Amino acid sequence: MQLVRSPEVAAARGPVVALESTLVAHGLPWPENLAVARELEDTVRARGAVPATIAIVDGAVHIGLAAELLEQLARDGSRFAKAGATDLAVHLARGTSAATTVSATAVLAARAGIRVFATGGIGGVHRGDAGDVSHDLVALAKTPIAVVSAGAKAILDLPRTLELLETLGVLVLGYRTSELPAFYTRSSGLALEHRVDSITELAAIARLHWEMDRGGILVANPIPADAALAGIEPAIERSLADAAAANVTGKQLTPFLLARIAAVTAGASIRANRALAVHDAAVAAELAVELGTV
């Protein structure tokens, strides 16, 4: 498998931070998605690291996207499939294009030697009894990478997601928090075993974790207080009901729910999503600089 590094990533002599492309292609509407994608990259640069938005374009793995490719991804997201880690070989063999989810981005970033990845929120165990569990959790358990996110997406069953993370052996570190963040809100009521209050300690723990040949680390980084949404649960419940009525399942469920929540909240959830994603990118860049990874 050949990795096509963007000129910026290829020229990097310092730390690189991976960014997912599903948020751009399927998570936000045009042109908000392009603005957010650019802001995430600029945030990483401003803190001394190099951004690498990852995607598959015509069967080639791109580690970092040139400006024109990033705009193409944002403007023509429907051309890009939604690819998890298990889908990668299919797109590579067929020469198709795909935006990468958390699981796929983590796997490809690690393959490129990148140890820090910023995303809005990871997938997990969906609500209800359908047994729908995101592969993000399994990929994170196996992949030596630190994923900085505002917890798991609020549309999920957060207690079961946290329990499964523990079962799979994923180290969860609360960054300046003692509770698992709930994406749109800073708190879920779910206590975390480990709280870390400095980037220096966070990097020290990560180094030792990987020296013992362990897998992924989830850095739970709460949404900024001034961007958090109070009273979001009714909007989530209504969106879940709409998804059930429309029989939306599988890979289409999360994009559907995020779009419905955005509609129900009159765009407030999109603004919150943007704020938390930018905050995650900032912390990820600081961690990458401290680690000194390339």
- Catalytic-role residue among 32, 71, 153, 286: 153
Distances (CA, A) of 101 to 19, 119, 152: 10, 10, 13
Q: Which amino acid is at 291?
A: L
Do the Cβ atoms of 54 and 62 come closer than 8 Å? yes
Cβ partners under 8 Å of residue 211, min gap 6: none
**DSSP character at residue 62:** E
- Catalytic-role residue among 20, 32, 71, 290: 20
Q: Which amino acid is at 238?
A: R
Cα–Cα distance between 108 and 218 in angstroms, integer?
17
Give all strands (DSSP E) within the chain, no chain letters: 3-5, 16-19, 50-57, 60-63, 81-83, 98-100, 116-118, 146-149, 171-175, 195-196, 217-220
Task: Sort residue 45 into left (φ over 0), alpha (ψ -120 to 50) or beta.
Answer: alpha
- The answer to whether residue 20 is catalytic is yes
Q: Cis link prior to 234 (omega < 30° from 0)?
A: no
Positions annotated as catalytic residues are 20, 153
